[in-house]
A and B are shown apart, each in its own frame.
Chain A
Amino acid sequence: MARTFDIRRQTGFPAIAMACFILLYLPIILLVAYSFNAGSSVAVWEGFSWRWYASAWENDQVRAATVRSLILALSATVLATACAVPAALAMARPGRFKGQGLIFGLINQPLMVPEIVTAVALLIVFAAVKVATGYTGMGYLILAHSAFCIPFAYMPIKARLAGMDRALEQAGQDLYGTPFRVFLRITLPQLWPGILAGAMLAFVISLDDVVITEFVKSAGQDTLPTYMLGQLRRVVTPEVNAIATVLLGISVVMVVAFFFLSKSRK
């Protein structure tokens, strides 16, 4: 059998791969490890304790930020998914229409435009709206997060639709199902894994956003990530590690669930 090019056999490859993994994961392992530090340094190990988790739990600011983050992520997830489903349906159906490529680009704008640009743009627009309406609630954050979460919700749904057999919907119609009933009974049930996967991805993305949140939030609207950023500018205690570890845990759970959902074909 002819040997094909195998990157794994190249000199130095194992070493480089190893270095990359260490670079990726060592800091995270350290961060998690020091969240259990009994001392108040993030660099000197003084023994195991749950102390910083307890401290974070009892910190009112952390609690408020957590609640805010969850509300924000949930709202953004729901809104983004609600937009992504019809968008994917319209884009993935056959019968290409004029400007389909352009619309695809527009939907995915948040993936291409630098986040800081979006953040500044939103800051300017929302500032004007704030002045005009006097409203300073969570609405701005929810809108902003929904917007940049749409492509993340959209992608898995579209992938799912693309992999779906068109003949199934035709079979549904052939068996006397009106287009709407076929959508409910055939299309939607098969789309669910994609929708759930998209929603989870959107949730995680919203949960750890810093840049846009930092620019859009009004006073006293810290989310967990922006609270942590604020803390880091002052005293650094393993409390931040503890919060980060919890966030990491949530993300890992979501991403693993996403992985299995997007794999479950049929």
Chain B
Amino acid sequence: MIEVIGVTKVFPGPDMDFTALGGVSLTVQDNEFFTLLGPSGCGKTTLLRVIAGFEYPTSGSVLLDGKDLLAQPPYRRPVNTVFQSYALFPHMSVAENIAFGLEMLNKPKAEIRKTVADMLDLVRMTPMADRKTSEISGGQQQRVALARALAPRPKVLLLDEPLSALDYKLRKDMQLELKRLQAETGITFIFVTHDQEEALTMSDRIAVMNAGTVRQIGSPREIYDQPSERFVADFIGETNFITADLVGVEGDGSGLVRVRLAGGVETHVQAPSSDLASAMSNGPVTLAIRPEHAILVDEPQGLLKGALENVVYFGTDTHFHVALDDGGLFVLRQQNQPGQRSDMSVGDRVGLSLGRGVGQILRD
């Protein structure tokens, strides 16, 4: 288990100090696939470098299995990194690269040979064991970097956007391979990406970061379905934001609250979290609704009403742009069915229906 507790990192600058991490706290469980997701410059790499030991935090602490990790230099931490640039040793062969960590740990020769062979097998690089690292492709280099970091069996593996340099097909393959490797080795993975789809498909849990802080931690489902705030809702997937009035809280512990929409109708939506629900006071709030969570209906049945502004066909689904009567734009996504014919055309009056609990109140 790795615990990051209130870590801040301030880089002194010539005229102004820069806070790259502003009090980050998170806990990663053993054998978890944990992802740091956030826009460029939000401090993902800095956090990894703090954990690996290349950066010392301005304040806060990092514990590994309850023991202080910050007291150890990088070469004593049971944490290995797959660098974004791979950082393979150019003067060594593929096999020598993989053996390096084991040699530094002074493992017996026979064991090193065996582990290297196993690792080459694991990443399917056995035929290229004696190649120079400059003589293999980008995807192969990436696998060597992975094998090199895995060979010493670290407790935690840090991966800094390891797939960003790969083309789409190879990236998909490597995503599966990474998941397989993690399952086979039982090592804790802390994975950095700014690709939300990659984060959603691969992670056990995701920490969404922005400007040096963690905005939300949760399973991919929680992050997607119950974003806690506007930034998260906006960063992950597409979202419609509409304003409403909070009029009442359900006392049944379901975490549902009643809101009145622009047209005057009331509906039930999710509170940011069920314990927060009871503490909320009536008044204007912002709702986040995913494009695929609303249903296009005839005008009279709709909770929200408007005019169809645009219909965009996407192959698997169709996007409907609806100009709401209160002035906002709502994008709705519907999956295309075989044989289905749309009789709606631009300019038609339409309604949007929301199921009970669809829509999420955002904290602000």
A residues near B, CB below 8 A?
A: 165, 167-168, 170-179, 181-182, 185-186, 189-190, 266
Contacts and interface: CB of A to CB of B under 8 A. Distances in A.
A170 B105 CA distance: 16
A173 B88 CA distance: 13
Contact of A266 (B87, B90, B105): B90
Interface stretch (B74-82, B109-117, B262-270): B74-82
Instruction: Please classify the interface of chain A as helix (H, G, I), strand (E, B), loop, or mixed, using the class held by over half of its residues.
Output: helix
Closest 10 A/B residue pairs (Cβ): A175-B101, A167-B87, A176-B104, A171-B87, A266-B90, A173-B74, A177-B104, A173-B75, A189-B91, A174-B81
Contacts of A176: 75-76, 101, 104-105, 152
A186 B81 contact: no
Contacts of A168: 87, 89-90
B106 to A, nearest CB: 9
Contacts of A185: 100
Contacts of A266: 90-91, 134
B313 interface: no
**Residue from A171, A175, A181 whose CB has the most chain B CB atoms within 10 Å:** A175
Nearest to B98: A175
Interface string B39-60: 0000000000000111000000
A164 to B, nearest CB: 10
Interface residues of B, number: 25
Contacts of A167: 83, 85, 87
B98 to A, nearest CB: 10
B9 interface: no
Given A170-B54, A170-B74, A175 B87 contact: no
B148 interface: yes
A8 B76 CA distance: 59
B100 A175 contact: yes
Contacts of A181: 104
Nearest to A171: B87
Nearest to B90: A266
Contacts of A165: 85, 87
Interface in B119-146: 134
Interface in B62-87: 73-76, 79-81, 83, 85, 87
